[in-house]
Copies of this chain bind each other. A is one copy, B any other.
């Protein structure tokens, strides 16, 4: 059974998501001998602080406000760094980044993305991984990354349309 996270439930305590992600990130960086520098930490906080995928250029003002350089390469470097460690996901169809799955164990993931309000809810995909791994193995394909995006209207936005 596929389960989703609570992105569509606006009641949850989201600070918990962010701080969980941060602790996780620190551990992962330590394991890999990488440094979670102030810029990287800020970008991680910003991305995880939103259930809506954020584009690189949406992050720049916050970087500037925090006193960092805010040219595009700065934010793209931080995003690439976090992405490579599996700490954030890139939503290809939106050119935007999102965090907030279960921060204790990074994993391939899928998203339901509302085309109206842009909210992205992560789907737990363990059940799909079997299928993906099998088809990859069958064809000698070395699976390295997944972009799984379900696009449509969330229940809130469906309601507002009627």
Residues of A within 8 A of B (CB): 1-4, 8, 90-94, 112, 114-115, 121, 123, 127-128, 131-132, 134-136, 139-155, 158
Residues of B within 8 A of A139 (CB): 4, 8, 112, 121, 154-155
Q: CB-nearest residue of chain B relative to A112?
A: B141
Please judge, given known A-B contacts A135-B112, A136-B112, A140-B155, whether A147 and B2 are in contact too, CB under 8 Å.
no
Q: Tell me the bound Cα distance from A132 to B150 in angstroms.
A: 8
Q: Looking at the assembled complex, report how far the CB atom of A162 sits from the nearest CB atom of chain B, in whole angstroms.
A: 12
The 3 tightest CB contacts between A and B, nearest first, are A92-B92, A140-B155, A92-B93
CA distance in complex: A144, B161 (Å): 15
A131 to chain B: which residues have CB within 8 Å? 2, 127-128
Contact of B148 with A153 in the complex, beta carbons under 8 Å: no
- Give the complex CA separation of A35 and B8 in angstroms: 40
Q: How far is the CA of A140 from the CA of B98 in the complex (A)?
A: 22
Chain B hits for A150, CB < 8 A:
132, 135-136, 141, 143, 145-146
Query: In whole angstroms, what is the CA distance A155 to B143 when docked?
Result: 11
Known: A121-B139, A135-B123. A148 touches B148 (CB 8 A): yes
CB <8 Å contact, B147 and A149 = yes
CB distance from A1 to the nearest CB of B (A): 8
Nearest CB on B from A54, distance (A) = 16
**B147 touching A147, Cβ below 8 Å:** yes
**Which one of A127, A131, A143 has the greatest number of beta carbons of chain B within 10 Å?**
A131
Q: A1-B134, A146-B149, A146-B150 are in contact. List 9 more A-B contacts (CB 8 A).
A: A2-B131, A91-B92, A92-B147, A92-B149, A93-B147, A115-B144, A143-B151, A145-B152, A148-B149
